[in-house]
Structures are given as C-alpha cells and as structure tokens.
Amino acid sequence: MPKLECEVRNCAYNFARLCTKDGISVEGPASRRKRETSCHSFVPREIATYNYEFAKFGAESEENSEVWCDAIMCVYQQGDRCLADRIKIKVVGGFPSEKRNHTQKASSVDETMCQTFEYKES
C-alpha cells in the first residue's frame, strides 16, 4: 500500500495529513494531467461532520492506505490499484501562500487531485 499524504485540510478524513479512511478512490480514467484526476473519497468537513463509518482517528491513523485508481493513463496504475510508493492528494490550484497558512481547502471532489499522477506515454 502506498504512503498517503493528504493536503486537503477540510476533508473529513484528514487527520494530521494522514487519511483516516481505510482506502481511497482516485478518479480520472481519461486523465493526461494531474489536474484531471480527483480524490473521489473526499468529503468536506462541516460543523456536524466529525466521524465517519470505517474511519480511523488519532493513534489509529496510518501512513499507508489502500488506493483504488481508474486513471489508466498513469504510470503507477495497474489493475485498479495505485502502485506508487507514496502518493499525495492536494487541492487543485493550491498556491504556496495557502500551504504556509494551512488553507488548502476544497469544496468538492473536482477541486482535489492526485499530485503523484504521471502520464504514461503510449
């Protein structure tokens, strides 16, 4: 399983940059660029959103997470899985100043992306 780092600060599953979900789904079957992928498991954290079924919090959070992926044009995708050693999920269009201020926020799945995606030349 890849080591998963999540920079989407307002995802309900994000705990200290780790994903508390047992596994995530990266979408983008026709993707040719990172921005054309998305974390389909993203759930915006709202005031009433504190706990999700099958999520692990606190000490149970792990670096490694199962990653299902349909981005068939990525060099790391094989058999609906991501085979990269590490993957990073972030906000589309995140700017360095946002990183410094920890304001990497998305309002929908479409505003997330797999930073690790690399286009596979045919």
Domain presence at residue 56 = no
Domain presence at residue 54 = no
Domain presence at residue 120 = no
Angle (nearest 5°) at CA 22 between 20 and 27: 100
Q: Are 20 and 55 in contact (CB under 8 A)?
A: yes
Domain presence at residue 121 = no
Classify 34 as helix, strand or coil. helix
Q: Who wins on pLDDT, 25 or 45? A: 25
Specify the number of domains making up the chain. 1
Domain presence at residue 119 = no
Q: Give me the percent of the chain exceeding a pLDDT of 90.
A: 57
Separation between Cα atoms, residue 41 and residue 5, nearest integer Å:
14
The pLDDT tens digits of the residues spanning 4-15 come to 999 999 999 988
Average pLDDT over the chain, rounded to an integer: 84
Quick one: pLDDT at residue 48?
47
Boundaries of domain holding 99: 3-46+62-114
Q: Helices then strands (H, E): number in the chain? A: 1, 10
Domain presence at residue 14 = yes
Q: Are 107 and 44 in contact (CB under 8 A)?
A: yes
The pLDDT tens digits of the residues spanning 54-96 come to 455 554 556 788 899 999 999 999 999 999 999 999 999 755 5
Q: Which of 31, 36, 52 is nearest to 19 (CA)?
A: 52
Domain presence at residue 100 = yes
